[in-house]
Amino acid sequence: MPTALSLAPAELRLAELTETNRPTQLPLLTRIAGLLSASTAVTHLIVRGSLASGTADRLSDVDFVVGIHDRDLPAFALALNDLMTVAGGALLPGWRDTIVADLGGIGFVFLVQHEGKLRAAISRKTPAPALLIDDTSLAIRTLTVMARQAVDLGRGRDAVRFARQGRQQTRVRVPAVRGVGDLRIALAVECGEVDEAAERARTADTAMLDAAGRARMLVAAAAAEARRQAVGRAAAVLREAEEAAPLRLRLDPFARELLIVLPTRAGDAATAALLRGGGRTGGLG
């Protein structure tokens, strides 16, 4: 077992490890690597695996060897299965039917510092990357990601459950509300509670959000207004989102859909023109 590893995301060789076996699984592996690399809980990271062909029923036998702060390990391991249940389906639809033993070929080897050296803490096959972040916000961010992914998968009940659990956590850690505000609006829209969504959008404090975060919240708010048949208000909110982050609007498939559909529902020429102008700026015209 290595006693020292170096954090080198650029050298993970994920494409090389997957191209001879199941190239479609590269996004999932890349997502895992990104979570690991961005984590403040992770101290070291390396990936290893076989380049041999003939493992089509497995994920190229990829192992992530992860050095992690000892205090973070319990929560780290606890989050794995729950997160992958949602994230795996979003990134690789049908993975339960096509990959044996819950992502059989992906392994995680966890190492912790002991007497100045990295030593094995646990070695296991696992179906999930954890949301690997500092322990003060682990629960909130994990629940937020799980709820957002559940919305993407159309799993409304799960999304509401995760969001409510996250909401309980945010009462303890108030700054985290900034991270789940747009999620709450989106969930309300998804569950048909459009009046609640619109009210949340109007009262949301966006002062501390960055441009992309503000645009994301405004797109969710525009969807709420559209569901309430308030097309003029939806158009104005979308324009505000465009001004906050034009690139975000261009890349957001939900925003693009709104810009296509809403002009056909506009009751006056001015609103339709406003929406079409946003569509051209967003790369649709």
SS3 of residue 176 by DSSP: helix
Predicted confidence at residue 242, as pLDDT, reads 80
pLDDT confidence band for 6 (50 / 70 / 90): very low
- Mean pLDDT value across residues 38-62: 57
pLDDT confidence band for 115 (50 / 70 / 90): low
Residue that wins the pLDDT comparison between 19 and 174: 19
Predicted confidence at residue 154, as pLDDT, reads 58
Predicted confidence at residue 229, as pLDDT, reads 76
Cα–Cα dist 39/145, whole Å: 15
Contact between residue 64 and residue 107 where contact means Cβ atoms under 8 Å apart: yes
pLDDT tens readout for residues 128-157: 333 232 333 444 554 555 555 555 555 556
Residue that wins the pLDDT comparison between 94 and 30: 30
Smallest Cα–Cα separation from 137: which of 171, 169, 112?
169
SS3 of residue 59 by DSSP: coil
> How far is it between the farthest Cα atoms of the chain?
72
- Mean pLDDT value across residues 267-285: 51
Smallest Cα–Cα separation from 241: which of 214, 266, 270?
214
Predicted confidence at residue 207, as pLDDT, reads 58
Considering 47-56, 115-124, 212-221, 260-269, the range whose residues carry the highest mean pLDDT is 212-221
Residue that wins the pLDDT comparison between 136 and 75: 75
- Mean pLDDT value across residues 196-207: 63
Residue that wins the pLDDT comparison between 15 and 141: 15
Mean pLDDT of all residues belonging to the chain:
58
Classify strands 42-48 and 63-68 as parallel, antiparallel or unpaired: antiparallel
Structure tokens at 270: 């001015």
Predicted confidence at residue 279, as pLDDT, reads 47
Predicted confidence at residue 124, as pLDDT, reads 37
- Residue 122, strand partner residues: 110
pLDDT tens readout for residues 217-272: 777 778 777 777 777 788 888 888 888 887 777 777 667 777 777 766 666 665 55
Cα–Cα dist 99/226, whole Å: 40
Predicted confidence at residue 44, as pLDDT, reads 76
